[in-house]
Chains A and B, each alone.
Chain A
Amino acid sequence: MSKKVLEILTAQFPGAVLETHSQFGDDTAVLDPAVWRDAALFLRNDPRTRMNMFVDLTAVDYLWRGDVPRFEVVCHLRSLEKNHRIRIKARVGDEEGNGAEIDSVVSVWKGADWFERECYDLLGIVFRGHPDLRRILMYPEFVGHPLRKDYPADRIQPLIPFREVPNIGKLPPFGPDEGMAFGRQTHDFARLDPGTGPSLESTGGDEAANNGKPQGIGVGALQERS
């Protein structure tokens, strides 16, 4: 059915389609990560393919299989008019999981936004050009990427302190850039740029405001609250 799509794709990107197969009836093309976004754009726009439905984007960690590159970014697409599907994949990252970077396809299908965030959150794959790449299912202070094969399922995460909010006596359990402040506050977003504003990790700096009490995890934060 969509065998033809694979042929069109191979003809369009000679040398960049590393392999194709149709296991269990799912047509699959493994692409060179360098052409990832171009191929996505081509699949969407070409009248013969017309992949206008974004279905799914995820990644698989092949650490246990010993693959290098370690990750496989997998994207499923469908065409509404032609009723055909294709799966495109690209392999990224070394054994340590470093350099797992690939171009974002949010500009091609905006539905990829959350899927790429999820993929970044759970597998630590960085999507270049993503408008808002932050964690989505996990909280910002989470350490590691849980769906990687070298992340043990029973690992215990460190306790996190209450997030700090400047100029407020109380410590609300949400970050400085979100939620409603206690009392009227001016939310100056420009001031909270990373680097210039108070970072979540900083434990010092406001010693005077806290009378030199240790800040951070545990007793200090709790006393501060009560």
Chain B
Amino acid sequence: MEPLDRDLDEASLDLPSEPMLLNMGPSHPAMHGTVRIVLELSGETINKADVQIGYLHRGFEKMCERGTWTQVFPYVDRLNYVSPMLNNVGFALAVEKMLGVTVPERCQYYRVILGELARICDHMICSGAMAMELGAFTPFLYLCRAREIFWEIFEEETGARLTHSFGRVGGMARPPTPDFKAMVRVGLARVLTLISDAEKLILKNRIFLDRLDGIGRMSQEDALALGWTGVVLRATGVPYDVRRANPYMVYDRFEFDVPVGTRGDNYDRFMCRQEEIRQAARIIEQALDQMPDEGPINIDDPRIVLPPKEEVYTTIEATIQHFKIVMEGIKVPAGECYSYTEAGNGELGFYLVSDGSGTPYRVRIRPPCFATTQGLSQLITGLMIPDVVPTFGSLNMIGGECDH
């Protein structure tokens, strides 16, 4: 058969040689609805990528300057809305650092356990969503089922499934329920089974592995200079975990490993996350064994912690104390402090400035996702369009946190 283009001059074909611009997001299922990437394409290869965030900006920092210190808790819930408990604890620790108080030991264990449960939820949903975006829908359902088990525990403890607003300066809103330890023990075992089942579905899948392996690599130096923390940094081989490097609360009493990757690609990030789930489970088990069953949850300081409700209704002192804290807020000493904890995505920092009144002068959040997302354009430049989806998924960008 003779070629069809025999009469055609090569030059007269007039193929479009200029780069094409493609708009990915914000209304794109893989962009989580909050990110837009303007891609400059040459064929299917990405020449240049401009990542644009801000679609979920709600003025978190500005809002914090209008209420009391305690009224910030509902806002921090909505930062990383996949693991709100870690944000609650992080902010409570920041204010406690300025006040110079430490919560009772029982509360510290309680915070650790709830926080690690939230971390497992966070990692599960990230891995599940990443698999779903690559076409593997079943693991996502398995992991949602697993998250439901933890959410039931959270609902039992806090009264809310997702946005708990459960942290308080100087303690927690309520003490643990009598069945807390038993619930966590039973739930944790069931969740770990579900996670192994979900992993079995994808970790031998050629399509899934090929789209992760070697894609989206980041070097250690670049990751550090970009301000990456958490799983994405550890996947490049840097064993930096705030819980290990600068232990807060009672993290220095637990035995756990910090999983690190070797190449910093999508596969390493995925596997580090999976391993971290298991390490979090180890921490929870040790914390459950060590946590005292009796003892106070809140510190004993009438200037910081609300009195019990029955006393508020029966004694004048408690009524005044309640009124002062609710109307004027907790008086935090003037000054500035930076407090950091290991949240689901990395180092969650709060830089607080107080002028000595009951209202924060400035609440600055250092969202781990923000630094991570700015590395995205570097990661995907030179890759192809289909690689954007797993690379973006493995970074676990959470809009609420990234966009403040």
Contacts and interface: CB of A to CB of B under 8 A. Distances in A.
A175 B349 CA distance: 35
B227 A109 contact: yes
Interface in A112-146: 113-115, 118, 122, 135-139, 146
A24 B350 CA distance: 13
A52 interface: yes
A167 to B, nearest CB: 15
Interface string A42-60: 0000000000111110101
Contacts of A225: none
A75 to B, nearest CB: 10
B308 interface: no
Nearest to B337: A24
Contacts of B100: 24
Contacts, number: 123
Which DSSP category, helix, strand, loop or mixed, fits chain B's interface? mixed
A184 B403 CA distance: 33
Given A54-B227, A111-B227, A114-B374, A76 B366 contact: yes
B136 interface: no
Given A146-B62, A153-B62, A174-B23, A54 B349 contact: no
Contacts of B335: 23-24
Given A83-B246, A179-B21, A187-B18, A26 B338 contact: yes
A80 B62 contact: no
Interface in A23-79: 23-26, 28, 52-56, 58, 60-61, 64-65, 74, 76
B38 A179 contact: yes
Given A24-B337, A136-B53, A56 B62 contact: no
B249 to A, nearest CB: 16
Interface string B50-64: 101110010101110
Which DSSP category, helix, strand, loop or mixed, fits chain A's interface? loop
Given A55-B366, A83-B245, A146-B59, A111 B403 contact: no
Given A65-B355, A111-B227, A136 B54 contact: yes
B61 A179 contact: no
Contacts of A114: 370-371, 373-374
Interface string B351-379: 10101000001101010001101110000
Contact of A178 (B21, B57, B62, B347): B21
Contacts of B375: 111
Given A80-B224, A136-B52, A147-B61, 7 more contacts: A24-B337, A54-B224, A54-B226, A55-B347, A55-B366, A58-B366, A180-B22
